[in-house]
Amino acid sequence: MMQVQEQKTERLDIRTTATAKAILQQAASSVHKSVSEFLLDIGLSQAAETLADRKLFALNDEQWEEFQQALDSPPKDRPALKKLLNEPGVFD
């Protein structure tokens, strides 16, 4: 499968310490990438992972029914939780 490369027209600039820059350069070099390629690959991978659980919720039909039933059912009584939430907190 051939992918069409989107032209890179946008720019990101970051400021960092000399130590952080050296670490990033060493890591990028170890995988034969430029620092920009390294940061973009890692950043996009982490962004996809971060966003996945916020926008993708895949269930089969049986799981979907169970999920809806759980949402529609009344909450379970949790006396210990109720007690905890009604006690004064450490900052009260």
The more confidently predicted of residues 32 and 1 is 32
31-71 confidence digits (pLDDT tens): 999 999 999 999 999 999 888 877 777 899 999 999 999 99
Q: CA-based angle 41:44:45, to the nearest 5?
A: 80
User: Which range of residues forms the domain containing residue 29?
Assistant: 18-85
pLDDT over threshold 90, residue 5: no
In a domain? residue 42 = yes
In a domain? residue 61 = yes
pTM: 0.55
* pLDDT of 31: 97
How many domains, in total, are found in the chain?
Answer: 1
Grade residue 72 by pLDDT with cuts at 50, 70 and 90: very high
In a domain? residue 2 = no
Tokens, residue 39: 């940061």
In a domain? residue 32 = yes
Mean pLDDT, residues 4-18: 91
